[in-house]
Structure 1
Amino acid sequence: MAVPGTQAQDLNTRARIRDAAIRVFGEQGFDAGVRAVATAAGVSPGLVNHHFGSKQGLRSACDEKVLSIIVSEKKAVLTASSPARMLTALAEIEQYAPLVAYLVRSFQAGGRLAASLFEHMVAGVETYLEAGVAEGRLRPSRDPAARARYLTLNSLGSTLLYLQMRNEQDGSAGYGAAIRAMTDEIMLPSLEVHTEGLFVDTSMLDAYVAHEPE
């Protein structure tokens, strides 16, 4: 399954290697070596090292690409003039399976790189939320950074738990079916909560803000 956001015929060598690495790491985990990535990209291992310097450099490039796609797509949906953009994205949700597989492997692996990826994701979420606020599509927040962190934790946590419960082990193909099933299951309640809210009044929020004024 191709990585969204690029056209195969237009990829230069560096981009082709990076996209192959996203697929390989998502399917095999980060124990997969440079040789496996090189084979998937149709290049020599030496060429991978030439472009990225090391496996860590390659992973950083993959992180950057995955984050850029997520932020770009979310921003497009939240700033669109009609819900049609959202419906198109939902119809094509399976195409994001390689990215989901890559993110799952990243957070399963843990460590410094996963922590860095998470912080970059939070920053990305804050960026596209700000764009939505500026366009008048989203309500402003008392603490935009905290809201972005909460939504990132909520989204990643629910996705990781859902996939763990399904015990997906077959890379992009399995994740494609899983994220379709998950989206179909949670989209209505998610939109309902985000649009209409849950509490019938502001008493709990008011009490908390009064108790924790900072």
Structure 2
Amino acid sequence: MPIDAVVFDVGNVLIEWQPERAYDRLIGEDKRREMFAELDLHDMNNDVDLGAPLKERAYAFAEEHPKWGDAIRMWHDNWFDLAGPAIDHSWRLLRALRAKGVPVFVLSNFGDDIWDRASEVFEILKEFDRYYVSGKLGHVKPFNRIYEIVEEDSAIEPDRLLFADDRADNIAMAQARGWKTHLFEGPQGWADCLVAEGLLTAEEAL
């Protein structure tokens, strides 16, 4: 079946998302290891992905864990240290698809209130044809409903969607629904997939 739309995750597909690496710079690796062993900051961020305001959630979590209060607040205050840099080759691939008239969608676990700020810093986030952002929808990957929303809103059959994500559980749910998928492990593999699907030529995928 031909592909009618290409669906991009954001974190670690278009923009690196490595909070541990950022905290190594901000507070030092030893303190970061200790903090992440004691606290589940990624679980805290799941609430943000579901629509909780980032500052409100991070600051409340900091109050709950005063030992690490200053560092936890960095999840909000230093968010742009946690997110980035851009994955330039992936940006080029998205723009190459758009140049050929291939619709591109975003399907991302991403906070509602941080999305607009992130879009000013990472301009690629303004360049999608359709947006499926968990914090705006109140549903997250890898749960079924957010994939249903994509299908219903776009009116595209599952086997005509091609989805790239860096997490195997997110990919598995898409596959279960009949989507074509690519587990993103680097932009060159994604480029090769787009060429294999006939969406880009090898030259266009550079």
TM-score range, shorter chain: 0.3 to 0.5
Q: Calculate the TM-score normalised by the size of structure 1.
A: 0.35
Larger RCO (alpha carbons 8 Å, 6+ apart): 2
- Bigger helix fraction: 1
| Greater strand share, structure number | 2
